[in-house]
Structure 1
Amino acid sequence: MTTPFRYTQPLPRKAATGRVAEVYNQLALDFGIDEPPTFVVLSSAPELLAATWALMRESLIAGPGSRTGKELAAFGVSQANQCPFCVDAHTVLLHATGDHALAERLARGERPENEGHARVLEWGRRTCVPSPASKPYPFPREHAPGYIGTALAFHFINRIVSALLTENLMPANAQRLRVVRSLAGRSLSRTVRRPARPGTALALLDHAEPGEAPAWAGGTAVGPAYAALLRAAMAGADLLDADDQAVVLEKLWHWDGRHPGLGLEGFPDRRERPGARLALLAALAPYRITDEDVAAWRRPEHTDHCLVHLVAYGAFTAVDRIESALSRPTART
């Protein structure tokens, strides 16, 4: 039986206990999907799963700003990161908001007719470049926690998906059919359009102080959710030695947002530094991770928990670079 999971074997929902089961319950209630692979793939690392869900929920679902606008931002981010799974998912979710014509324009590769929608979509795409090019914001200042949190959540989720899942949102790519997209969206419409109370996901986070919330979060629940994901993801650095960590951080310091060339120039050799290579691929080209890359690093002691944490560390190093640009105070009011 085929699964969407490339390198891990997550437990099914019925076998989940503790915090993982609690996350699954919130996913079913607030996201409308019982076992979305984007989150199930993180289930071997409960602290990562909870923080990823918290950031997405508190920004996209419960954060300030319209759901349609934030779905457009997430669509643009996913396009820029070359994540077809997430692009298709946000097309379906736009159907769920009731914006059927908009969803189908995007599915055809066309520009939104509404100029405000077009600006938000383009802003989402531009956030992949860690520079002031993502300014000014195409939304009011008070909506920044929702939009910025959504963009950063999907810069992380895109990388997890591209690294650890197959590209197919549905079996046989059924979501490529308009009628399937529309029906799937309509099945989620009641959940997507129902108001969500901010802060609910924070109860799932570690009791330890996650760290300082970023200023752009403005005191909303998005801030501690982002800080918790940063803390959980960066713990994966412990899977690399100091030299490998230095290689990863040096490469990220000079990253300009572009996708690497076919030759992956400047990436470590998988035989010499397999961990650093895997982390850097997760950061800059997760869709280029191969079976050979994973096999070169993975040893008997490297469980699914370890692999997920290493990929998450690489993914978040890129998110951290992007966040440092997005957080510069030049937002449009």
Structure 2
Amino acid sequence: MTGPFRYTDPVPPKAATGVTADVYAQLAADFGIEGASTFVVLSASPPLLTGAWALLRESLLAGRASRTRKQVVAAGVSLANRCPFCVDAHTVLLHATGDHRLAEVIARGEVPADPEHAALLAWAKGTRTGQAGEPPFPAAHAPEFIGTALAFHFINRVVSSLLTETMLPGNAQRYRLVRSLAGRSLSRTVRRELTPGASLALLQTSGPEPAWAAGAPVGTAHAALREAARQGAGLLSEEDRAYVRDAVAASGGAHPPLTGDWLPARDERPGARLALLAAVAPYRITDEDVAAWRGPQHTDHCLVHLVAYGAITATERVEAALIADKEPV
């Protein structure tokens, strides 16, 4: 399958069957983008695909909080994680909400003039390093905002690991007019009110729901994604799993230096190296990193699960810092 996919050959929408086809259909209807590579890249593992889609849908797309405000959070997380593909995507989606100036201000790395948007952007960026501070949203909307932040901490890492930075052919998203036009084409879908919980029937895994979700559908989705992503731990030895967990905790969310001994050697611990890169610096994954671990024995299914394990390990660190902070006001 051609496109932005770096190391996998995902199931294209026209060839999809079963739950994968069901996700693609709901994705096209509710997100407005057919065959969105952000999710197609996970198609080798239906539990990961359904979990990631459900978490995004139930946090960002459905619910009572402003879609524009949640898009600001998604963009802020993507900026903090240095994911150009996702920053471009959220710029387009902010255009789709009709707030064209806000979209371009955030894309340029500037502070929005609106104090509420500025506070949300700062909070979102701070979630990576555990410095988010007081939540700038009401407690009733906490499941949606926290869910959106966690969804993109996971998705950013998958995207940076497994996709190129090219969102549109020829990198056309670099042009403001293209971003604006692309956003306008999605405006009707973005403004639709979606029924919460419609994605939950697609889920293939389950687990204990987080307290911060307060029983909302986003909690069920988050639990399903967490359980699916944790399955990637089985691709590593216990020693390597402990190494990855400890290194992610020690990182504190900081972007690691270009040199140093924070990363295990490629020829000694290739699996731990790849999972750790996915967790803290997925944009630094190279062909050599993937080849050193993959060999003939690991499939696309294995690769997306190992990346997902690194991504969820980092996301859980963010989650722990958020729930340890003060309750929303």
Partner SS state of residue 292, structure 2: helix
Does residue 34 of structure 1 match 2:30?
A: no
Structure 1 segment 1-333 matched on structure 2, within 5 A: 3-129=3-129, 131=130, 133-206=131-204, 210-328=206-324, 330-333=326-329
**Match for 1:10: what amino acid?**
P
Structure 2 spans left out of the alignment, 5+ residues: none
Any idea what the Cα deviations from partners look like across 1:293-320, whole Å, max 9, x if unmatched? Answer: 0000012121100000000001110001
Contact 2:231 2:309 in 1 (8 A): yes
TM-score, normalised relative to structure 1: 0.97
- RMSD of aligned Cα (Å): 1.2
Q: Give how far 1:63 is off.
A: 2.9
| Aligned mates of 1:58, 1:127 — CA distance in 2 | 20
| Aligned mates of 1:77, 1:106 — CA distance in 2 | 12
Q: Give how far 1:211 is off.
A: 1.5
| Aligned mates of 1:264, 1:202 — CA distance in 2 | 43
| Aligned mates of 2:291, 2:154 — CA distance in 1 | 23
Partner SS state of residue 258, structure 1: coil
**Match for 1:198: what amino acid?**
P
Q: Give how far 1:65 is off.
A: 1.3
Contact 2:126 2:133 in 1 (8 A): no
Q: Give how far 1:100 is off.
A: 1.0
**Match for 2:98: what amino acid?**
G
Any idea what the Cα deviations from partners look like across 1:30-77, whole Å, max 9, x if unmatched? Answer: 000010110000000000000000000000000331100100001000
Contact 1:63 1:222 in 2 (8 A): no
Moved more, 43-52 or 265-274: 265-274
**Match for 2:192: what amino acid?**
R
| Aligned mates of 1:332, 1:243 — CA distance in 2 | 38
Any idea what the Cα deviations from partners look like across 1:4-46, whole Å, max 9, x if unmatched? Answer: 0000011211110011000000000000001011000000000
| Aligned mates of 2:70, 2:29 — CA distance in 1 | 19
Q: Give how far 1:329 is off.
A: 5.6
Contact 1:155 1:319 in 2 (8 A): yes
Count residues in correspondence.
Answer: 329
Contact 2:142 2:328 in 1 (8 A): no
Contact 2:79 2:87 in 1 (8 A): yes
TM-score, normalised relative to structure 2: 0.98
Q: Give how far 1:2 is off.
A: 5.2
Partner SS state of residue 74, structure 2: helix
Q: Give how far 1:158 is off.
A: 0.2
**Match for 1:144: what amino acid?**
A
Identity of aligned residues (%): 63
